[in-house]
Amino acid sequence: MAYKSKGFKEPVNPVGNVAELFAGVGGFRIGLARAGWKTVFSNQWEPATKVQHASGVYVARFGEDGHTNEDIAKIKSLPRNIDLLVGGFPCQDYSVAKTLNSSKGLKGKKGVLWWEILRLVHQQKPKFIFLENVDRLLKSPSNQRGRDFAVMLKTLGDEGYTIEWRVVNAAEYGFPQRRIRVFIVATKKKSGVKKSKPELIIGKTGILARALPIEKPTGTINEIDLKDEVDEISLRFNKGASKSPFLSSGYFADGIAYSIKTEAKLSTNKVVLGDVLEPDSKVPDSYWVEENRLKEWKYLKGAKSIERTHKGSGTVYNYAEGKMAFPDLLTNPSRTILTGEGGTTPSRFKHIIKTKNGYRRLTPIELERLNGFPDNWTQADSSGKSITDAKRAFFMGNALVIGLIEKVGKVLALELK
């Protein structure tokens, strides 16, 4: 096998301290540890489930020191010695309920996690913030394309940060999964630092540009004025427009966002799905697809047009789906792992591969490898209880590609010196 995780080891002489929110099973922590960072505080809470499986795996791997398993709204503050705040937070509606006077700051809709992140940032003001989200964040909601991201930029900028962002496809940087996410890196402003041109920061000198190189940007850069009060931005930003002004790369400073389309400088070290596979002899029988069920899998993966009736209006419409690869090609990076990857039920979105012994689904170890986790990282919780394969697949559908975190972490480490 050509691709396997380097494992996890706490740094001996850490470059700085990390607080990890929405920690999941520890992807940020592993990647940043490889870049020299020590995670001293972490929080993982899943509101939709009574048993906190992800937190249990996290504690099993890292121990209880500095870890909390509670609603983020109950966290009063971060430790005082935090240099870097990180998290892969859920994508929500970030509209503003109201603003208060300047002494009390800003108040958003109850239950929206962005305001909890901002509350902790306001109290602690870490030197750096590194966040990860789905790329649709840049164009949500559908009736005000880009408003949510505009609110994020504005509110974080008001806390004294400049902000870079980039839509990243992990496969373009040599990893075995086509996982597309937006990375957001905020840097606390320093007095007396000479300003650079936004194009230079986006293309060459910025943290993301050095960590994840791009080809020279081409085309026109968008300038997006976000100097209005945040409640005005929430109410009026891009209203009625069909497209978001936020493109795949950008930089925000002093109330203005600059955005341009960019392309990754492709890695010469290509790793593919076939490189992460376990030997067939180690794959349990339950992962093999029986011959009499292949027809169902093929149908779900195939192109189709289905007549449906809208439940509310009674309108008849055609629901169409395009063709997907069947089986998934071992010579390409995999498709994005989704949270519903586990279980034996045929699905359009689960991976199916073909080896010399037939058709089968991907094992939990293979899914872990696609994200860069050590083998069997999610096998058991802190009590030693085994985690179901379906839940392990769910973890990987929510996880990130660790190697990308390591790359950004290394450049952040240089910035801290």
Active site residues: 91
CB 367 within 8 A of CB 396: yes
Kind plus residue range of the DSSP H or E element containing 395: helix 389-398
DSSP secondary structure of 15-84? SEEEEEES-TTSHHHHHHHHTTEEEEEEE---TT-SS-HHHHHHHHHH-STTEE-S-GGG-----TT-SE
**CA distance linking residue 31 with residue 53, whole number of Å:** 21
Q: Of 371, 272, 276, 278, which Cα lies nearest the Cα of 331?
A: 272
3-state secondary structure (DSSP) of residue 218 = coil
Please tell me the total number of residues recorded for the chain in this structure: 417
**CA distance linking residue 49 with residue 97, whole number of Å:** 28
DSSP category for residue 202: I
363: left (phi > 0), else alpha (psi -120 to 50), else beta? beta
Q: How far is CA 324 from the centre of its chain?
A: 24
Exposure string of 290-301, with b = 16+ CB inside 10 Å and e = fewer, is: eeeebeebeebb
> In the chain, helix, strand, coil percent, each to 5?
30, 20, 50
**CA distance linking residue 179 with residue 173, whole number of Å:** 11
Amino acid letter for position 385: K
**CA distance linking residue 207 with residue 410, whole number of Å:** 10
Q: How far is CA 40 from the centre of its chain?
A: 21
Q: Of 191, 184, 198, 136, which Cα lies nearest the Cα of 156?
A: 184
Q: Of 211, 9, 195, which Cα lies nearest the Cα of 128?
A: 211
Beta strands 161-169; 249-253: pairing state: antiparallel
CB 65 within 8 A of CB 42: no
DSSP category for residue 361: P
**CA distance linking residue 260 with residue 202, whole number of Å:** 9
